[in-house]
Chain A
């Protein structure tokens, strides 16, 4: 009997993890960061509905810096966010935006986070994010 040759490539697959906001909505900062770092360290790219708070972004950077040199091959992260840049200059829109944020959280944005070993660069502008991947 002839053995079937496995056709699976030796190259690792690229995995994208879609994360709805509900997955982190009720988590505190520590657990949010822990969840995100767990996925990033598994070499996956996260597409998060919504965005992190500014202090959570800095915590994520701090956490990444602590891990560089302590986890083999880890070089940090790439992160980019695009928000719904509505006119928040008028008072009415600002109030409406703030009420919506309190009620449903920062859902009107998309955040992409990936390990720097997988994502070479993220080019962003207010409307789009371009993802450049490293050769695998």
Chain B
């Protein structure tokens, strides 16, 4: 309850004192799509530090993580944004899934509870975003209702979007399938893990932030 009030107050006050030109860039997607990996890659490239921890266990990020004042540069021009990494959105959570990763029952139940709260928070924050990067795991079927729902909500709110097909270093990855699933969006393929194609990603990110201003 205290957490909800605290987050609500933070959002109200950040709205009142919002600096002109400040862009809030959200990272959205299913669990394990690579949101925190990409957020970390950006923070490492431009700030020299990580944002959050990455894990193979789903729902590692269960709270909104914010990095203020990220500045990226291209051709002598700079853009600044606030980076907001959100917990992965899912439609179901079974604590027993966490047991497979060696967790004890109580720990798994606690993680499941936190994950449900994280998903609710992610959805609530959608209204606050000025631009969003939707991360899609290019190695699995992109036609998931979570991806469709996120993109549908962003379109309804007229929030600029960049679709990022992540994990292109994997054999199974298929960017064309992601492009085919969401033909109305700009799709850029990257590997947040290996750093593949980050140059093109930063070019698209630069355009996205400009669009949101």
Chain A interface residues (CB < 8 Å from chain B): 53-55, 57-58, 61-62, 64-66, 68-69, 75-81, 116, 122-126
Contact = CB atoms under 8 A, between A and B. Distances in A.
Most chain B CB within 10 A, of A58, A65, A123, is at A65
Contact of B152 (A57, A68, A76, A116): A57
B144 interface: yes
A57 B89 CA distance: 12
Interface residues of B, number: 26
A54 B141 contact: no
Given A65-B116, A75-B94, A77-B92, A58 B153 contact: yes
B126 interface: yes
Contact of B143 (A54, A58, A69, A125): A125
Given A54-B155, A125-B143, A69 B113 contact: yes
A68 B118 CA distance: 13
Grouping DSSP codes into helix (H, G, I), strand (E, B) and loop, the B interface class, with mixed when no group exceeds half, is helix
Enumerate the 7 nearest inter-chain pairs by beta-carbon distance, A residue then B residue, closest first: A76-B92, A54-B152, A116-B92, A65-B116, A54-B153, A57-B149, A75-B94
B92 A78 contact: yes
Contacts of A124: 141, 143-145
B90 interface: yes
